[in-house]
Amino acid sequence: AVARGHVEILWQPPTEAILDAVGARLISMVRRMGAKRVFIDSFGAFQAISFHQERVVPFFAAIANELRASGTSSVWSYETPHLVGSEIPAPLQGISPMVDNALVMRFVEVSSQLHRMLSIMKKRNGGFDPTLCNYAIGATGITLGAPFVNAEALLTGTPHRAKRSKAIAIAKKPSTAANSAARKRR
């Protein structure tokens, strides 16, 4: 996609940047390309280049609003400093009203194995399925797998089996029946 000109990568070393200049460069590139989707990796990089942390939330809001106004959807990543454990820190206080959707992708230990877990935390317009799902990253991208079944407290970093089950498991195949059964047990 990069070779065909469908994707452009704007790389900015965090040690050689001024927040406003990076924002202007990003918006200029989006306009020049007529981009419809932007992935920003990562929100933490914007924090790192800001000399005044109190400017980061208003700056983020301005960039997100400018992208939204131009019809461009944006995805911002934030790498948590904790690989596993009970803490899931928010990148900044006050960010929730500015984002339309929020996902948590993290590692969880289940039955002495490390798994990737996806959780939808927020969806602005409409409902969403709160099921915690397994996912894999492969050559074709991200594949959403089966939900974690018979498990509780996965987000705490100390999961345990659900009271009515005998073992923590991951469903072998994602299915509507498994999702419905998991929701009924809650």
Tell me what percent of the chain is helix, strand and coil, each rounded to the nearest 5: 30, 25, 45
| The pLDDT value given to residue 36 | 93
Place of tokens 């995805």: 75
Render pLDDT for 134-145 as a digit per residue (tens, 0 to 9): 999 999 999 999
Q: In whole angstroms, what is the distance from residue 39 CA to residue 41 CA?
A: 6
Render pLDDT for 115-134 as a digit per residue (tens, 0 to 9): 898 988 888 888 888 889 99
Sequence spans of domains, the chain: 1-95, 100-186
Token pair, residue 120, equals 């939808």
Q: In whole angstroms, what is the distance from residue 86 CA to residue 106 CA?
A: 11
Render pLDDT for 45-93 as a digit per residue (tens, 0 to 9): 778 888 888 888 888 889 989 999 999 988 888 877 666 666 666 666 7
How does the average pLDDT of the chain come out, rounded?
80
Q: Does the model's pTM come out above 0.85?
A: no
Q: In whole angstroms, what is the distance from residue 62 CA to residue 52 CA?
A: 16
Q: Which CATH number fits domain 1-95: 3.50.50.60, 3.40.50.1820, 3.40.50.460, 3.40.50.300?
A: 3.40.50.300
Query: Is residue 183 left, alpha or beta, with left meaning phi > 0 and alpha meaning psi from -120 to 50?
Result: alpha
Q: Reply yes or no on whether the pLDDT at 40 is more than 80.
A: yes
